[in-house]
Amino acid sequence: MTMKKTFGTVMASSLVLAVFSLTPALQSQTGASVPKNSVVASVDARSDFATTIERQMRAKGVDAKVQLAGESLNVLQVEWPAVHRSNIYTFVTSPAAGQALGMGFESVVFTNGNQRWEYNLRRESMISSPENL
């Protein structure tokens, strides 16, 4: 791996860690002050949560698209061309994962176009698969 690519990976990971460490601010911005295991947030609150995360990531230079998915709009989908397993680990161990669960999200799906990682928030487990099955 070249020095430039390694530096880019380290910077992206650092940016994501910074974004997810700022997620307590999401509660005040989205009005979401729900208990960790309470599923009372509306679809609008979940949409605001996704929008805020996307804005924060883009402000830090991370090219990611964050949106709601699933029949009940309870899947947080993150499309990020440069995502790595370390970025996913940073998210699932951050306060943002607990907040997402408390807002009614069941899972978070990360994709880079080639690979898909689905993290089940309740079971705290992840499934990885090729994007195009």
Residue ranges per structural domain of the chain: 3-130
User: What is the chain's alpha carbon radius of gyration, rounded to the nearest angstrom?
Assistant: 14
Token match 């397993």: residue?
85
CA distance 30 to 8: 31
| Whether the model pTM is above 0.85 | no
- The two structure tokens encoding residue 59: 């402000």
User: Per the structure block, which two tokens stand in for 49?
Assistant: 């949560």
pLDDT tens per residue across span 72-128: 999 999 999 999 999 999 999 999 999 999 999 999 999 999 999 999 999 999 999
